[in-house]
């Protein structure tokens, strides 16, 4: 009985700050301003189909870039020891010690028309280039802010791979490329899938990055929900419907990723 009582504060916290908001959003999504049941909120979402597609496309691109950059970084960290390992880990973790908005603002100042990067190109007679208020700037902000969430899960999984498995593969005549392709990479896939989930979900729902680096020209789901809930377009019922649909899509994506992760059956030589 005492062991169950320890969980009561956590259950209360979850009920108050997780379950209750979801129920409120669901209630708003299926009601109108007159508090009558309606499905019109979901029908009105069709006018924002481009925002859905753009959000998932940019999030997918950012996630792919994080995989291509993060996996080699994690592999390098797992193989190195001593001061190189500590220094590389510190450089990856250092940006996370700063405020999220501060990190994003720094890129805004770097990418703007009179920013540091364009000023540097100007020394060689190049530019100025339009880098701010573009899709590329948004993807850059996503990659910069969420890359550690890709590196750390992969690094954690690679470091736990039993070195005896690698030695066994080498004893069977496998070269380094074969060991990586048939042993290390398959065993590290759970970390890759975890990293993809941890990067894709905040990327598809972000609004601070798109607002600061994309300007008013790029409307993503996070900005759309913000506009409907507390912004100029104020329509909490439509905003709740969009939030609910996005939450369902994210849950489906997580279920699919977990299914692939659970389906990993080890390695074969």
What is the pLDDT, as a whole number, of residue 64?
96
pLDDT in tens, the chain (269 residues): 556 778 788 888 888 888 898 999 999 999 987 888 999 999 888 888 898 899 999 999 999 999 999 999 999 888 877 777 788 778 888 877 888 888 888 898 899 888 889 888 888 888 788 889 899 999 999 999 999 999 999 998 988 888 888 888 888 888 888 888 888 899 999 899 999 999 999 999 888 898 889 876 788 888 888 888 887 778 889 999 999 998 888 888 888 877 766 544 454 44
Task: Look up the pTM and report it.
Answer: 0.86
User: Are the C-beta atoms of residues 37 and 31 closer than 8 Å to each other?
Assistant: yes
Query: Cα-atom radius of gyration of the chain, to the nearest Å?
Result: 23
Give me the residue label for tokens 């880990």: 89
DSSP labels, 12-76: HHHIIIIIHHHHHHHHHHTB-TTS-B-SHHHHGGGGGHHHHHHHHHHHHHHHHHHHHHHHHHHHH
Token code pair at residue 111? 């990418």
What is the pLDDT, as a whole number, of residue 150?
93
């Amino acid at each position: 009985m005492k062991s169950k009582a320890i969980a009561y504060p956590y259950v209360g916290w979850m009920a108050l700050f997780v379950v209750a908001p979801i129920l409120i959003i669901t209630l708003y999504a299926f009601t109108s301003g007159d508090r009558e049941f309606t499905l019109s909120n979901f029908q009105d979402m069709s006018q924002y189909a481009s925002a859905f597609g753009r959000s998932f496309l940019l999030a997918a691109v950012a996630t792919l870039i994080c995989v291509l950059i993060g996996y080699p970084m994690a592999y390098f960290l797992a193989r190195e020891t001593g001061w190189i390992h500590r220094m590389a880990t510190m450089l990856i973790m250092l940006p996370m010690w700063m405020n999220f908005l501060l990190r994003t603002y720094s890129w805004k100042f770097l990418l703007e028309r009179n920013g540091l990067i364009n000023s540097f190109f100007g020394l060689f007679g190049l530019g100025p280039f339009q880098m701010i208020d573009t899709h590329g700037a948004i993807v850059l902000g996503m990659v910069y802010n969420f890359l550690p969430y890709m590196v750390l899960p992969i690094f954690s999984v690679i470091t736990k791979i039993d070195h005896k498995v690698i030695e066994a593969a080498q004893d069977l005549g496998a070269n380094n490329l074969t060991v990586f392709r048939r042993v290390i990479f398959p065993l590290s896939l759970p970390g890759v899938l975890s990293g993809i989930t941890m990067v894709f979900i905040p990327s598809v729902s972000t609004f601070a990055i798109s607002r600061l680096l994309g300007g008013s020209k790029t409307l993503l789901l996070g900005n759309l929900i913000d506009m409907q809930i507390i912004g100029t377009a104020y329509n909490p019922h439509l905003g709740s419907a969009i939030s609910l649909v996005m939450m369902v899509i994210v849950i489906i994506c997580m279920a699919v990723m977990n299914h692939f992760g659970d389906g990993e059956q080890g390695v074969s030589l």
